Amino acid sequence: MNSATVRNLLVRGMLAGLGAGVIALVVAYFLGEPNVDSAIGFEESHAHSHEHEVELVSRSLQSTAGLATGILLYGVAFGGIAALAYCFALGRVGRFGPRATALLLSGTALLAVYVVPFLKYPANPPAVGDPDTIGERTTLYFLMMVLSVLLAVAAVIAGKRLAPKLGTWYATVAAVLGFAVVIGLAYALLPTINEVPGDFPATLLWRFRLSALAIQATLWGGFGLLFGELAHRLLRPEPAAVSTGAAVPAPQ
């Protein structure tokens, strides 16, 4: 793949990430923000004895311009990174076309980058978590994410190497099982963090975590569909339509 194609795919990846970010922003605003507001209300109702802190950024600004800026910038950034990964994966992960490769890549990235770390260290709303342990919690989460991504890459490589001996189906099953076993060991060995207050509403916690998962699924799924279409039009352009009134050259 030449540099011009890579550059074009990179631009299309960033545009697809931006488009997916717009869709995810709608989901975050209507599905996620009400849960955040409820969690903040719970936190404020249990903080009467503490001195009220002045907000540097108002809640209304956080839930509108701040939310939009964060999601859209994230969409553009991950779209560019995913496009570069797509350039490497295209033609190397099976006989998939541009659209199918984009969906496969986005689905794998969603699983490795978000779902696997999420199952061990799920997202928490305001009022959940000790401020003194935020550094430890962030480190463990990113450690789980890096481990998941590296294991996903290793599973793909192992599957390709086993395919000539076991066949595609059994090689894929073996690679997936190996990935699941090592991730299970990581879940068991890494420390568990449970700082949810005993009186925090379980329903609110459940809704918040589901909304966080829905936002990421929308972002990655939207990217896969949008980028797959853009990549398909670049890599496999439709032939120019022949006008019915065009003169047909006489045979020589």
Given its phi and psi angles, is residue 96 left (phi above 0), alpha (psi -120 to 50 degrees) or beta? beta
Q: Are 226 and 16 a contacting pair, CB within 8 Å?
A: yes
- What is the C-alpha separation between 231 and 216, in angstroms, rounded? 22
Lowest mean pLDDT, pick from 26-35, 41-50, 236-245: 236-245
Compare 62 and 86 and report the one with higher pLDDT.
86
pLDDT tens-digit series, residues 91-128:
777 778 899 999 999 999 999 999 999 999 998 887 78
pLDDT tens-digit series, residues 203-213:
999 999 999 99
Give the pTM.
0.84
